Structure 1
Amino acid sequence: MSGQVPAVNGEIVAGGIVEQTHQTMKNVIAILEEAGYELKDVVRCGVWLDDPRDFWSFNKVFGEYFSPEHAPARACVQASMMVDCKVEIDCVAYKKK
């Protein structure tokens, strides 16, 4: 799945990294479900943070969605965003047929 941002109806949600991470994860979950996948099928995530000082707050929220048994591989980097958001997440999901 390509990068998801904290948008609802094309508008970036207000708030800090916590609120924006929750919305981004809601968007990720919706796309996964539409494709027949679940969070437990995610094997890799790429994360872009606008401000690296947000990492620990982001990481706490991210951990609410992925259990230690199903934690995906993850890379997290700092990047200036093209839109006014604090986080972007892309994912790769896989499940055996």
Structure 2
Amino acid sequence: MNTPESQTTQHIERLNSPAFSRLGLPFSEIVRMGDTLYLSGQMGTLPGTLTLAPGGMQAQAQQTMENIKSTLEAHGYSMDHIVKCTVMLADMKDWPAFNEIYKRFFTAPYPARSAFGANGLAMGGQLEIDVIASARR
């Protein structure tokens, strides 16, 4: 989907919604290359801001998943297009609680996924998730 906020270079399309563009961040919201979408890491920030959702890991996990969903939908895709998630948790003890929230956004068969503990996530966040999705509609 080409929008005024997208840029295409040699079969690589950079997609940025107007709300994302207003944040002025030094990366693209989504990069499309062929039939593959690469979403930049999503965190539990409140929509249109760089403020983390209050309430700790569970609130941030819920907001992160909502952000992934709304980012895909802003460009004409859905959660069903996701093929791989990479999850970075500030504390691996939060793994079971994260899984409960994660399962609310998918049905079996689930996307492929990897996860690891990370020290020092941006903005002091509790988690970050990056996503690879299919661009086929």
Q: TM-score, normalised by structure 2?
A: 0.67
Aligned twin of 1:27: 67
**RMSD of aligned residue pairs (Cα, Å):** 1.1
Q: How does 1:84-95 map to 2 (within 5 A)?
A: 84-95=124-135
Q: How does 1:65-80 map to 2 (within 5 A)?
A: 65-69=105-109, 71-80=110-119
Larger radius of gyration: 2
- Aligned pair count reads 96
Could you list the per-position Cα deviations for residues 38-81 of structure 1 after superposition, in whole angstroms to 9, with x for gaps in the alignment? Answer: 00110000100000000000011001101013x11000000011
Aligned twin of 2:42: 4
Which amino acid is the alignment partner of residue 56 of structure 1?
A: P
User: In structure 1, what is the Cα distance between the partners aligned to 2:94 and 2:70?
Assistant: 24
Aligned twin of 2:6: none
| Higher RCO, 1 vs 2 (CA within 8 Å, ≥6 residues apart) | 1
Q: How does 1:31-70 map to 2 (within 5 A)?
A: 31-69=71-109
Higher helix fraction: Structure 1 or Structure 2? Answer: 1
Aligned twin of 2:3: none
Partner secondary structure for residue 67 of structure 1: coil
Where does structure 2 lack aligned partners over 5 or more consecutive residues?
1-38
Partner secondary structure for residue 41 of structure 2: coil
Q: TM-score, normalised by structure 1?
A: 0.92
Where does structure 1 lack aligned partners over 5 or more consecutive residues?
none
Q: Which runs of 4+ in 1 moved over 6 A?
A: none
Which amino acid is the alignment partner of residue 31 of structure 1?
A: T
Task: Give, in angstroms, the shift of residue 95 of structure 1.
Answer: 4.4
User: In structure 2, what is the Cα distance between the partners aligned to 1:72 and 1:52?
Assistant: 20
